[in-house]
Amino acid sequence: MGEGSGYGKVILFNEHFVVYGIPAIASAIGSKTIARVDKTEGTGWTIKDERPETPGYKKNKMDHQNDSIERILKAAGIDVNQTPINIYLGGDLKAASGVGASAASCAAIARALSVQFNLGFSDERVNEIAYEGEKGYHGTPSGIDNTAATFGGLIWFKRGDPSFIKRLALKQPVEIVMGNTGVVANTKAAVAGVKERKENEPEKYDKIFDEAKELAQKARSALEVHDLQTVGQLMNKNHELLQQIEVSSQDLDFLVKLARDNGAHGAKMTGGGLGGYMVALTPGKEVQEKVAQAMEKEGFEALITKIGV
């Protein structure tokens, strides 16, 4: 049997903008997906997906998952007609929109295949294969999710050929709360919506994209000196920009405001948007608890975790 894992992630700055080469910042979180691969009889592959989920996620993403696994097997050079396999998915990362669930599963499967078939994949190779797998879910992913899922830590990511990835140092891990709207979102559609609006309103979008670019540099500097007040304020500003490109939602805006009202240094939607998760920066256990409880009181699930782990 081969086993491997992939980290869940949170995008702290510039999801969507990252698709167009604007730098973005993401971090692994404390939850993971575990994959196991076993050789079996017969032909082809099967999957047993036992990850916890936002209701409806797995069913909704079933076609994407099938496409993704075919792509992973092709990229890894495995012919399941010769060597049929069973794939198992588990771990404590929820199968949900906005936490990098698809990327974490792709990295985990690539690693499990490497172990099972003695392929000796480096992290770089795992990342390449996970990127191929992500195409099954996103169409044309920027690569930020699979990079965070594969390498972990806090990363600065700029899409390109090749993409530029730099690990950022955080003085110590920082508490965050991720609020789940419970809505299964379609990242492909969200990305396509931005593309269409950007083409229709180039002047408006160019201005917003320039602001996002400037914000990324400021956020990086603030993170590097551990100035969490400024990081929070910049997250708030980033949320405004994401609202302007129309990828937020009523539930996301509600949770963002709730987190700020309960003491978060800053809050924003995270990931593809139109549902999924938001993230609140809540340094210290006390404010983290307070924000999480406020969300739960309103009927939303809150994930208590850290960045820079």
Question: Is 45 or 131 the residue whose CB approaches ligand MEV more closely?
Answer: 131
Residues in Cβ contact with 209 at an 8 Å cutoff, skipping those fewer than 6 apart: 17, 20, 22
Residues in Cβ contact with 290 at an 8 Å cutoff, skipping those fewer than 6 apart: 262, 263, 282
Catalytic site residue from 49, 145, 253, 261: 145
Contact 278, 249 (CB under 8 A): no
Least distance in angstroms from the C-beta of 67 to ligand MEV: 16
Least distance in angstroms from the C-beta of 71 to ligand MEV: 15
Segment 205-224, which members bind ligand MEV (CB under 6 A)?
Answer: none
| Residue among 298, 89, 91, 61 at smallest CA distance from 177 | 298
Selected from 10, 19, 259, 280, the binder of ligand MEV by CB under 6 A is 19
- Position 16 contacts ligand MEV (CB under 6 A): yes
Least distance in angstroms from the C-beta of 2 to ligand MEV: 27
Segment 49-108, which members bind ligand MEV (CB under 6 A)?
Answer: none
Selected from 4, 272, 275, 308, the binder of ligand MEV by CB under 6 A is 272
Is 145 in the active site?
Answer: yes
* CA 304 to mean position of chain CA atoms: 16
Give the integer Cα–Cα distance in Å for 219 and 231. 6
The residue type of 111 is R
Residues in Cβ contact with 225 at an 8 Å cutoff, skipping those fewer than 6 apart: none
Selected from 4, 6, 15, 249, the binder of ligand MEV by CB under 6 A is 15
- Position 138 contacts ligand MEV (CB under 6 A): yes
Q: How many CB atoms lie within 10 A of CB 264?
A: 26
- Position 228 contacts ligand MEV (CB under 6 A): no
- Position 267 contacts ligand MEV (CB under 6 A): no
Contact 87, 37 (CB under 8 A): yes
Give the integer Cα–Cα distance in Å for 10 and 142. 15
Contact segment (CB under 6 A) with ligand MEV among 14-22, 61-69, 177-185, 288-296 equals 14-22
Least distance in angstroms from the C-beta of 295 to ligand MEV: 21
Residue nearest to ligand MEV (CB): 142
Residue keyed to tokens 């992500």: 134
- Position 18 contacts ligand MEV (CB under 6 A): yes
Beta-sheet pairing, 164-168 with 301-307:
unpaired
Question: Is 2 or 273 the residue whose CB approaches ligand MEV more closely?
Answer: 273
Give the integer Cα–Cα distance in Å for 120 and 175. 35
Question: Is 11 or 228 the residue whose CB approaches ligand MEV more closely?
Answer: 11
The residue type of 54 is T
Question: Is 144 or 264 the residue whose CB approaches ligand MEV more closely?
Answer: 144
Instruction: Provide the annotated active-site residues.
Output: 145
Provide the binding-site residues for ligand MEV, judged by CB under 6 A. 11, 15-16, 18-19, 138, 141-142, 144-145, 187, 191, 271-272
